[in-house]
Structure 1
Amino acid sequence: MRAALRRASTVRLISGVALSALVIAGCTSSEETAPADATSPTAAIEDIDTDALNGLVEDVAREFQVPGAVVILRTPDGAHTVQYGTGTRDEDVPVDTVDHIRIGSNTKTMTGTVILQLVQEGKIALTDPVSKYRTDVPNGDNITIEQLLDMRSGLFNYTETPQLNEALDDDPQRQWQPDELLELAFANPPYFPPGQGYRYSNTNTVLLGLIAESLDDKPLPQIFQSRLFGPLGLSQTSFPDIVDSSLPAPHPQGYMYGTNMQTLTNPALPEDMQAAAEAGTLAPNDVTDVNPSWGWAAGAAISTANDLVTWVQDLVGGQLLNADLQADRLGSVQPTSADSDAAEYGWGIAKLGPMYGHAGEISGFNSFMGHDPDNNVTLVVWTNLAVAANGQGPATTMARAIIDSIYPS
């Protein structure tokens, strides 16, 4: 959880919603809106055999002491599935593609999609100031809805506060109201003036969730079900009520090393604890039932690997928005830093190299979903450890390695 929603799991690769930040980040829908200028759709990729994929996943899992991992890779040349390890440490029930997991910041793609649907319906505009909908936002007259979507508002990230992290350690069943999360954020100065930089902040997406509720006049779980999960047939995907800390069966246990406060300023544990984890003398904590309300619209959704394949393909393929708005969404991604390997981020969606999608990290689970619409490649990865003792995200590390093996340099 510590790196969970706090750092840009989608913008660092692989280490969280970001392949060590975003290896993050899908088959293609009939309404393709992403650029399609390659004369040969599969010319840019190389096939990977199941044995090689198994070996890659096993290497990363063993290095990071991962109990269980699931990988689904689909290319025009075939589909591959890897199911490594078990759902519970020291037990023998294997993980499966139908297991339910917390998907963390992948939820942001859902909240962002709902907002864009409302834009499409004329109920809100990307240029609207957030103060039109929430009068309590600092400098809200100068922060637009678009800047909330693309993480350029400058608003402080509430998951970086000691108050939240202490509470997660001391009272993991606490039921957080969205307005409580905003109070934590607004008590801190912004990172920069609106539009003058990029900073991944869960505060942006919590605000968008509240705005969606006010415009659609129903709770966010119902909005997601009626607008997203139902129409796409995502029968194993859900957004829990704030009081609900359970995971539907079947599900693995989720684990993390150390505490949230120990990793508040650095996701890596102290070297002695890292060594103990590697030696097997330090066990991770079972955090499966930590109440995910602290992530809410930014990270509380639940899904399966199978459903995430459908979701990311439809998200990128254009099943949820009209063609023009979908093209604008994919075109909204911008570099998050001057680093050539950095991910790009846009309207509730990220991109690393050829793959659009996102990554997530919360309460013992790390995940990645990505879809390359030009080459029709989809990748979904999850692990039931987040993060590793060294501060990296196991699932995003796996995803990065898989992507590197598919796309020749």
Structure 2
Amino acid sequence: MLLAAALLLGACTAPAGAATQATGAPSPQAEAVAKIVRDGMTAGSLRAAVFKVTKGDQVITSQAFGESLDGVPATTAMRFRNGAVAFAYLGTLLLLFTEEGKAKLDDPVERWMPALPEAGKVTLKMLANQTSGYPDFETDPAWNAAFNADPFQSWTFEERMKYAFSRPVQFPPGSNWSYAHTNFMILGEILAKIGGKPLDVLLREKVLGPMGLRETVANNTGAIPEPVLHSFSSERRQALGVPAGTGFYEEATFWNADWGTPNGASQTTTIDDMARTAIAVGEGTLLSEASYRAMTDPNLLGFGHPQDNCKPSCFTQVEGYNYGLGVVRSGGWLLQNPLLGGYSATEAFLPAEKVGISVAVTYLPGAFDCQGNYPNASDLLFRQIAAHMTPDHAPPMPAPFQKAVC
């Protein structure tokens, strides 16, 4: 709403959640952040790193290092895939609908999709906080084989549900926690039914626009608007039967990522929009205080347990990782940290100190192990930057970068 008013008035004020760029010589903090990123690029075999750090209404630093393509420097204007960042937008949209009285978090999904398994017991809240028990189609071997055979193909909602429910529900609804893309596929379909419009339109009108996100757009193909931060990957190595001693590194930029988000929420973005997202979600600028607390409080801390039929995606929610409604808590930080198609991107915000950190990276061949696995390098860089920026609120730190060795 503030954005709309500013546009109507022709005002020079920034949209809600924006930060103003610092001028002059780089500050010691900016130089320290740049060193952390450069060191991380060397240690983690990163091709490019684009990052932005804000504190309050000030931009501490916004830079891009490395190359998009050979001979083409990465820039802060380049677009990349944001994956699960869209889940935070879905959580926001769900809560906006609850505030409008159009739905309740405890409404069972049978109200909109009565044919789903356990439809009378699974609630909207369970979809948003990953406690439904629904299997993740992404872990289905048949789905993985189909994706690896053609990563450019598009996936309908019905196709994804067929793979998901080729296996039984993993646990009684609400009795455990397990990360499943299936939950958000279903939530996206239901939100479109509640709002009476396509999901991409609802997100633009009610979430992305009011947050001031001008460059975050949805596409049901692998297309990315120019300028593009190109990505490369070795993750299909095993699926294609490439021997461990043989080099394998392919461009993954235009793989279709619509499988990972609901129809209408497969998005590309920029580092500026990631930074705006971190602030807007982290401060709950579109939500009431009660909705913000429901979305971001550590309500699942200590909940969940490992279980044979859903490991490793089911585990006890701990301080370093516990799930809200479309957002992750790590210590005092609120974040999303997708990893897909050779892209790693993290947006995070610390409400206690109003610090936002957004990082997007791509990879060199040395980042991939002999099976084609690779680390979430943007997440580690965020944590290293956060430890410098907010030493009293540093997020839990995983193991440092290690070179992949075959």
Which of 30, 36, 51 is 2:31 aligned to? 51
Aligned to 2:79: 100
3-state SS of paired residue (1:334): coil
3-state SS of paired residue (1:122): coil
Aligned to 1:190: 169
Aligned to 1:256: 233
3-state SS of paired residue (1:195): coil
Q: CA deviation at 1:157?
A: 0.6
Q: CA deviation at 1:145?
A: 0.9
TM-score, L = length of structure 1:
0.79
Q: What are the residue-to-residue correspondences of 1:5-404 with 2, within 5 Å?
A: 49-75=29-55, 79-88=60-69, 91-240=70-219, 242=220, 244-259=221-236, 262=239, 273=244, 282-297=247-262, 300-331=266-297, 333-335=299-301, 337-338=315-316, 342-385=320-363, 388-390=367-369, 391-404=374-387
Q: CA deviation at 1:341?
A: 5.1
Work out whether residues 100 and 303 of structure 1, in 8 Å CA contact, stay in contact via their aligned partners in 2: yes
Q: CA deviation at 1:262?
A: 4.6
Work out whether residues 347 and 358 of structure 2, in 8 Å CA contact, stay in contact via their aligned partners in 1: yes
Which amino acid in structure 2 is aligned with residue 378 of structure 1?
Answer: G
Work out whether residues 178 and 296 of structure 1, in 8 Å CA contact, stay in contact via their aligned partners in 2: no
Listed as ranges, the gaps of 5+ residues in structure 2 are 1-14, 19-26, 304-314, 393-406
Aligned to 2:388: 405
Which amino acid in structure 2 is aligned with residue 235 of structure 1?
Answer: R
In structure 1, C-alpha distance between the alignment counterparts of 2:135 and 2:256, rounded to whole Å: 22
Work out whether residues 53 and 82 of structure 1, in 8 Å CA contact, stay in contact via their aligned partners in 2: no
In structure 2, C-alpha distance between the alignment counterparts of 1:322 and 1:405, rounded to whole Å: 32
In structure 2, C-alpha distance between the alignment counterparts of 1:172 and 1:59, rounded to whole Å: 32
Structure 1 range deviating more: 72-81 or 305-314: 72-81
Matched positions, count: 351
3-state SS of paired residue (2:63): strand
TM-score, L = length of structure 2:
0.79
Superposed CA offset, 1:38-66 (max 9, x none):
xxxxxxxxx96233222221222223322
Residues 351 and 139 of structure 1, relative CA distance in 2, 3 Å threshold:
same
In structure 2, C-alpha distance between the alignment counterparts of 1:380 and 1:29, rounded to whole Å: 14
Which amino acid in structure 1 is aligned with residue 388 of structure 2?
Answer: S
Work out whether residues 84 and 261 of structure 2, in 8 Å CA contact, stay in contact via their aligned partners in 1: no
Q: CA deviation at 1:194?
A: 1.1
3-state SS of paired residue (1:291): coil
Q: CA deviation at 1:371?
A: 0.9
Cα RMSD after superposing both structures = 2.7
In structure 2, C-alpha distance between the alignment counterparts of 1:327 and 1:389, rounded to whole Å: 39
Superposed CA offset, 1:356-401 (max 9, x none):
1211122221100011112010000001249941431111121122
In structure 2, C-alpha distance between the alignment counterparts of 1:301 and 1:93, rounded to whole Å: 23
Work out whether residues 74 and 377 of structure 1, in 8 Å CA contact, stay in contact via their aligned partners in 2: yes
In structure 2, C-alpha distance between the alignment counterparts of 1:48 and 1:312, rounded to whole Å: 23
- Which protein shows a greater Rg? 2
Q: Percent identity?
A: 22
